[in-house]
Structure formats: structure tokens, C-alpha cells
Amino acid sequence: MLKQAKVISFIATRKPAEAKAFYRDVLRLSLRSEDKHAAVFDLEHGTLRVTPVEALVPAPFTVLGWEVANIREEVKVLGEFGVDCLKFPGLEQDRTGIWTAPGGAKVAWFKDPDGNILSLSEPGED
């Protein structure tokens, strides 16, 4: 039933103005609407609602990610906006923070202004 439905993703923020600027200007998402409940961004197959909350403890894992065709280019653009990829002990990541999984997929992680962990993934050969 839900396989064909569009996904609505939610990200919590304690910094609504900074979060709106980050998702709109850095990640280049189209802002559909904004009110006191959320800044709503259009995604290709769904919607992202960046919702203000009173308290937030960011999860220590990825909460939202995107599959991209060219992860190196996307990481370069993030860097131009001052966003550095995270480095994790025990993962062999390159100097830009990109990890290559055993199957060849490439993954990079970064944080939004509230510390939510986001990721980019480029599919591998398999």
C-alpha cells in the first residue's frame, strides 16, 4: 500500500533560521512553505519538514540521507559552504571523508546546524 506513496521526512531543529538557510542554500532544496510548525522542502519523491522543537539531542547515527550520482562533486560543493564530512574511527575514509564500502558504494556523512547526521551515498557496482 505505501510502496507508491511519497515519503514525508522530518528533521528536528532548535535553530529554525539556520536550518532553513542550510537546507535551502547549502543543500539547494526548494522551500515550498514555512510557518511556525515547519519549513517544508520539496524532494524528488517526497517532502522534508524541518520542525522546530524545544529540546533536541541529535541521534548518534544517520537520520536522513540522499543517493547521489557523483559523491565527490557533492562533497566538494559542501566544502565550498564550509561543511566538512565527518570522520569515524575504524572506517577507512579518504581525506575528504568518503568511505568506500566492500561492495563499492561510497558514503559520506555530515551534520546540519543542529548536529543531525546526514549522509550522501553513491551506489557501487553490485
Topology given in CATH for the domain delimited by 7-122: 2,3-Dihydroxybiphenyl 1,2-Dioxygenase; domain 1 (3.10.180)
Q: Write down the pTM of the prediction.
A: 0.93
Note the pLDDT tens digit of each residue in 35-62.
999 999 999 889 999 999 999 999 999 9
DSSP-based three-state secondary structure for 95: coil
- Cα distances from 71 to residues 15, 64, 78, in angstroms, run 27, 16, 10
Confidence at 126, pLDDT banded by 50, 70, 90: low
Determine the pLDDT at residue 88: 95
Helix (H) or strand (E) holding 55: none
- Cα distances from 87 to residues 19, 25, 66, 120, 123, in angstroms, run 22, 24, 18, 14, 20
Average pLDDT score over the chain: 95
